Structure formats: structure tokens, C-alpha cells
Amino acid sequence: AQSVTQLGSHVSVSEGALVLLRCNYSSSVPPYLFWYVQYPNQGLQLLLKYTSAATLVKGINGFEAEFKKSETSFHLTKPSAHMSDAAEYFCAVSGGYSSASKIIFGSGTRLSIRP
């Protein structure tokens, strides 16, 4: 079984500041981990995903995330926030090809950018 917890339902940062969105997961099998972004009135789109290759994963729009097995974390970061980054971000976990696998999404973190 899998589960995911996103710490902080709302994060606010200044433009140009570091963005850090936290995600912790639980999985009984080696996990596949994802970050999706949702802009207002749109569907989700993939930012990046971890599939057991490199532990530091680079995604679109300057975002990256690091898989830390010992901490069961997959936090999302971006060195310098842009106004266009304001959106809702979802962390998700799946058990991959496991027969019992499903994809579980976190509750989301709304990112606001202050001018």
C-alpha cells in the first residue's frame, strides 16, 4: 500500500526566493514518485517523476526534487520563484508495476508568489 503526505496546504514566497514544497511518502514496494502542477481551471500536468534512476530529478520550469529513501521524502525545490509559478502542486506515489499498485495523490500545496 502507498500513501503520501504533503506538509503545508499553502506556501507563500517572495518572487526570486527559494521554493520548497514538502512531500513524504509511504510504500511497501520501491516507489514511483511524481510531482504534478495544476494551474487555475486546468488539469494537472507533470513536473517531474522519479523511477529509481538518479535520486535527483530535474523537471520542467526549473523545478527539481530529490528522492531520499532514508527520510522517505521527495521534496520539490526551485532556486528562484517566478510569478508564473503560482499554482497548486501535487505529490503522488505509486507502486509501479506491482499488481497491487495504485496511484495516490497528496492533498496538494497551494503556492503563492509575493511581488
Partner 1 sequence: DAGVIQSPRHEVTEMGQEVTLRCKPISGHDYLFWYRQTMMRGLELLIYFNNNVPIDDSGMPEDRFSAKMPNASFSTLKIQPSEPRDSAVYFCASSLSSGGFTDTQYFGPGTRLTVL
**Which residues of this chain interact with partner 1, rule CB under 8 A?**
32, 36, 41-46, 49, 51, 90, 94-97, 101-103, 105-108
CB of 66: closest distance to partner 1 in angstroms?
A: 20
Nearer to partner 1, 69 or 114 (CB): 69
Minimal CA–CA distance to 106: which of 94, 96, 95, 93?
93
Nearer to partner 1, 19 or 106 (CB): 106
Between the alpha carbon of residue 59 and those of residues 1, 12, 71, 100, the distances in Å are: 26, 21, 21, 28
CB of 14: closest distance to partner 1 in angstroms?
A: 27
Nearer to partner 1, 3 or 80 (CB): 3
Joined together, the cell numbers standing for residue 15 give 518572487
